[in-house]
Amino acid sequence: MSKQIVLLPGWGLGVEPLQLLAQELSAALPDFNVQIQPLPSMQGQDAAQVLQQLDQQFPQDCWLIGWSLGGMLATALAAQRQAACAGVISYASNACFVAREGWSVAMPIATFTDFRALCANDPGVCLKRFALLCSQGAAEARQLSRQLQAAVPVDELASALAALDVLAELDNRQAIRSFTGRQLHLFAEHDALVPSAAAEAVSELNAQARVEMLGHSHASSMAESQLLAQRIASFIQGAEHA
DSSP E strand boundaries for 51-203 = 63-67, 87-91, 183-187
| Exposure letters 122-153 (e unless 16+ CB within 10 A, then b) | ebeebbeebbbbbbbbbeebeebbebbbebbe
Task: Give the CATH fold of the 4-240 domain.
Answer: Rossmann fold (3.40.50)
* Average confidence (pLDDT) over 89-118: 97
**For residue 214, what pLDDT is reported?**
96
Residues identified as active-site: 68, 191, 218
Q: What is the share, in percent, of the chain residues with pLDDT greater than 90?
A: 90
Average pLDDT of the chain is: 95
* Average confidence (pLDDT) over 9-29: 96
Q: Is the pLDDT of residue 242 over 70?
A: no
At 194, is the pLDDT very low, low, confident or very high (cuts 50, 70, 90)? very high
DSSP state of 83: G
Q: What is the pLDDT of residues 211-227, one digit of tens each?
A: 999 999 999 999 999 99
**For residue 152, what pLDDT is reported?**
80
Q: Is the pLDDT of residue 169 over 70?
A: yes
CA distances from 123 to 38, 74, 103, 115 (A): 19, 25, 28, 10
**For residue 235, what pLDDT is reported?**
97
At 120, is the pLDDT very low, low, confident or very high (cuts 50, 70, 90)? very high
Q: Is the pLDDT of residue 196 over 80?
A: yes
Q: What is the pLDDT of residues 132-165, one digit of tens each?
A: 999 999 999 999 999 998 888 777 777 899 999 9
> CA–CA separation, 61 vs 65, rounded Å?
13
**For residue 58, what pLDDT is reported?**
92
SS3 of 100, please?
strand
Run of H or E residues at 5: strand 4-8
